[in-house]
Amino acid sequence: MFELSLMCPQDRVETFSEALEALDALSVSVEDFDAQTDAEQALFGEPGMPPPKDGWQRSRVLALFATESLAKEAASLLAAQDFFDECRLLGISLVPDQDWVRLTQSQFAPVEVTPEFWIVPTWHEPPAQARTIIRLDPGLAFGTGTHPTTRMCLRWIAQHGRADGQHAAGNPLGRVLDYGCGSGILAIGAAKYGAVDIDAVDIDSAAVESTRLNAQANAVRLHTGLPDQATGRYQTVLANILATPLKVLAPLLCAHVEPGGSLVMAGILERQADELKAAYAPYARLVVADSEDGWILMTATL
């Protein structure tokens, strides 16, 4: 493949992207032209918040083409357009062949939850000290264990479940609801620590399918489906989403927790703790149970 590189102002990025796609570009990506310089602009805000700006003042637009002739033709056609003013061609280069699967896999190593509890991609051998293992590969749904919110939820499960994984009626986790299950990692973790009856639900059908497949890969039994599958009350309700939907869901989630049961929530920034406490005050008393890298885990006993 050949990569065509262009520089253009922010207000021209969408026009260039559409034009490149019409000229048979295999893909188009956009970067900060001034990255790693004093003029670099950070655009990414906090989760749930809009980015501070729509784009960079100067953008590098990169387009991949199947042949060099297609890349050169695209460059010539774009240079002749009125919207090319204030833009410039940075070059056309051959993209070296790589084993993209192996390169992607190399970015995902086993993740430690506790010294004995690990999340391990299928292409890795488990660490020698691992006693409880979740096999999980990156996929379409959120939740591979690399994010602090996922790790905190799994740590809570490990602390409150049975390390021997016995599915006994007296298991502290009891019946479990994973609301907004993503990849199903929390539901699978609950199963590994002995939960007796687990519902994993999500509004995204791709997440539901991902959870089903991941449960099969880990030889655990879950009930997966859309949110209306969650029925009755649960000893443990897990919700790793974001603060705004968690506030909206306060009455629903609390209604699913049986008396004496546990509500466990993540996806919350430290600065959002008081907002969540206020939203849940009519139903439960939330406390901060864990924190990592600016994120917190909040729990309540109903």
Please state, rounded to an integer, the average pLDDT across all residues of the chain: 87
Phi, psi at 56, each rounded to 5°: -80, 155
Q: What percent of the chain has pLDDT over 70?
A: 84
CA distances from residue 180 to 110, 117, 279, 296 in whole angstroms, order as listed: 24, 22, 19, 17
Q: 266 with 260: CB under 8 angstroms?
A: no
Q: Say which range, 3-17, 84-98, 136-150, 196-210, has the weakest mean pLDDT.
A: 136-150
Return the pLDDT at 50.
56
Return the pLDDT at 219.
94
Q: 45 with 122: CB under 8 angstroms?
A: no
Cα distance between residue 196 and residue 288, in whole Å: 27
Return the pLDDT at 101.
55
Q: Provide mean pLDDT across the span 224-228.
A: 95
Spell out the residues 6+ positions from residue 120 whose beta carbon is closer than 8 angstroms to its own: 110, 111, 126, 127, 130, 133, 134, 135, 136
CA distances from residue 146 to 118, 230, 282, 295 in whole angstroms, order as listed: 11, 27, 33, 13
Q: Provide mean pLDDT across the span 36-49.
A: 56
Collapse the DSSP code of 65 into the 3-class scheme (helix H, G, I; strand E, B; otherwise coil) and give the result.
strand
Q: What percent of the chain has pLDDT over 90?
A: 65
Q: From the CB of residue 109, how many other CB atoms can be counted at a distance below 10 Å?
A: 13
Distance of alpha carbon 48 from its chain centroid, rounded?
A: 13
Q: Provide mean pLDDT across the span 123-142.
A: 82
Answer whether residue 87 shows pLDDT above 70: yes
Return the pLDDT at 162.
80
Over the stretch 142-188, which tens digit does the pLDDT of each residue have? 667 778 999 999 999 999 988 665 555 567 899 999 999 999 999 99
Q: Provide mean pLDDT across the span 252-256.
A: 97
Phi, psi at 281, each rounded to 5°: -55, -40
41 pLDDT band, cuts 50/70/90, is low
